[in-house]
Chains A and B, each alone.
Chain A
Amino acid sequence: MVEQAMTVHGELWTVKELFVLPNEYIYWSIQIVMYPFMTGLVAGAFVLSSLYHVFGVKQLKEIARFSLVFSFALLPVAMMPLLLHLAQPLRGFHVMMTPHFTSAIAAFGIVFMTYACIVASELWFEYRKHFVLTTQALAAQPQKSSFDTLRMHFFKILTLGAMDISGEAIQKDHNAVKKLATLGIPVACFLHGYAGFIFGSVKANALWMTPLMPVIFICSAVVSGIALCILCYVLTMEIRKFMAKRQMSRWAKDKSAPSVEELQSAENQEIETASRFLLYFMIAALTLEILDLIFRGYTQVKSWDILREVILERDFTKIFIMQYAIGNALPFLLMVLPGRTVRRTTIATVLVIFGVFMMRWNVVIGGQAFSLSFAGFMHYHMPIWPTSWETFREGLFGALSVMATPFVIFWFLGKVLPPFLKDEEAH
């Protein structure tokens, strides 16, 4: 029979070698790599913020507010890879309609909503004073443009009618933030822990199935979140210093704006402390990952033959060079060796984020690199140029749009929740 080939989902980017079952393809591709990566950043950013609010690590005050806003900007982006991946994205909300709680993915609906509510509430308490002051300032303006009127109403709504900014009311806000930050830590852990559970509980997949998976995911999530926040914080501070030096922007020209020296010293302190926590979590994440490998190599169960070939031969470069050497060992050295500078730390954070991304890749794609038959392999060829909706959404450009979106959102969000506020303006 001569037939025109009809491409099934997954066939486009899968090349099979030796014996692979007829229905096996790499179904969970780049977007499923992006999803835990993005939720990891969300969780990590939140934990960093909570280190200040809950544990009172004073040196993290500035970066704490920044990372909280960034965490909120990352939140809608966490949903993007899933919507792009689903074969029926318009039915995505079914997860909230009939959640089947024996499935880890069903937890997504509840945990995500809970986490979003906590972060949104915490931000509200953090910025309520700013909302009130902005509303009052706009109301006091004698001549308002229509845009100003719109802004005034918008900020009025955001205050939820709570206009009292006396010392007592602000103190209540403080306490609420602290309580929410405390509550948020286990929820953030859950948000990413369950992503690890999604993989760790799939007994059918020899690489994914391990009880360590949720813990590995949480630790590497925190690592990526802290690293990203340090990186963005440094970049933003550099921009602010640049503006202060050149007296650009309305903000910089204000008499009370911090000087370049003040900005510099603030930056050093924050990064010093954040880096310490980054190192702790890096050690934890790496320990668990190496432990998993050692156990597999030692116990040598049925899947060992094929896994050994995938881990130690086919994916050796991706795992040991890119993830462990460049993404873990090198930044570790950069941060631990004496004479650490902000610049060295920044390079280290970039490498760390790369390392965490490669970890997600090696788990998701690596787990599909071998067949259920243990007698064949599958190669993943990520679509590069988008020639169709399919090659866009499950290809490089889909991944890049997911990466870029939080920054776009963050820029807009910064207009409502400015990440850098002086004490008097916020709580």
Chain B
Amino acid sequence: MKSHVWRPLFVIIGIVAAILLFREFYVPDDFGSGEYGFMYSYHNKTNEDVWKNQPLKYRDTGKQKMHEYCAECHGDVVEIRTEDLHGIIPCENCHGPALDHPNEPEALVIVRDRGQCLRCHTLLPYTTSERKRIPGIDPAEHNVDEACVDCHDPHNPRLEDM
């Protein structure tokens, strides 16, 4: 190609080649498409492991397991919890994540403020939701300056036993 008109094209080819070369080094080798094809799963496969290795916080104290694990040391409290009332609440909801407890942390930080109880026990007049089955109070009226736990035992919430 003797003609000078091709010279800009050579420059462009050079730039493109440089970009592709850089790409070879920069982009991780396992970048590709997964089961869901190019449209939905084009990614760097190693990233899946990054997410799998995210540190755990909660122990998974779903009802049954909670009774088994926490009861090992705190059997007395676990026993007085009644299955149908606060027994359905996972311990970690108030006692915080306890994956490595008692190693780390040694003592759990317990949530004791009014807001915690009001999550369920604010009286909301919704008859078409299970909310109707939870006894509640008006937070603006009922013992406004006090913490709920001052009078109510969260592990045994039966009013008869207060």
Contacts and interface: CB of A to CB of B under 8 A. Distances in A.
Contacts of B113: 1
Contacts of B23: 96-97
A169 interface: yes
A97 B42 CA distance: 13
Interface in A116-163: 117, 120-121, 124-125, 128, 160-162
A154 B26 CA distance: 32
A388 interface: no
Contacts of B16: 113
A254 B21 CA distance: 50
B50 interface: no
B105 interface: no
A23 interface: no
Contacts of A102: 38-39, 42
B162 interface: no
Given A121-B12, A160-B8, A160-B11, A98 B3 contact: no
A121 B15 CA distance: 13
* Top 5 A-B residue pairs of the complex, sorted by shortest distance between their CB atoms: A162-B4, A121-B8, A160-B7, A102-B39, A117-B12
B37 to A, nearest CB: 9
Nearest to B10: A160
Interface residues of A, number: 23
Interface of B: 3-5, 7-9, 11-12, 15-16, 19, 23, 26-27, 31, 38-39, 42, 113, 115
Given A98-B42, A162-B7, A169-B4, 18 more contacts: A1-B115, A98-B31, A102-B38, A102-B42, A113-B16, A117-B8, A117-B15, A121-B9, A121-B12, A124-B8, A125-B8, A128-B4, A160-B8, A160-B11, A161-B7, A172-B4, A172-B5, A175-B5
A101 B33 CA distance: 12
Contacts, number: 44
Contacts of A121: 8-9, 12
A306 interface: no
B38 A176 contact: no
A253 interface: no
Nearest to A96: B19
A340 interface: no
6 contacts: A96-B23, A102-B38, A160-B4, A169-B4, A172-B4, A176-B5
Nearest to B111: A1
A100 interface: yes
Nearest to A162: B4
Interface of A: 1, 96-98, 100-102, 113, 117, 120-121, 124-125, 128, 160-162, 164, 169, 172-173, 175-176
Contacts of B4: 128, 160-162, 164, 169, 172
A162 B113 CA distance: 81
A182 B31 CA distance: 37
Given A97-B27, A98-B27, A120 B5 contact: no
B5 A125 contact: yes
A101 B42 CA distance: 10
B141 to A, nearest CB: 22
Nearest to B31: A98
A172 to B, nearest CB: 5
Nearest to A109: B19
Contacts of A98: 27, 31, 42
Contacts of A124: 8
A96, A98, A101, A128 interface centre (most CB from chain B within 10 Å): A98
Contacts of A125: 5, 8
A172 B42 CA distance: 45
A98 B47 CA distance: 15
A202 B9 CA distance: 36
Contacts of A161: 4, 7
A117 to B, nearest CB: 5
A127 to B, nearest CB: 12
B60 to A, nearest CB: 24
Contacts of B8: 117, 120-121, 124-125, 160
Contacts of A113: 16
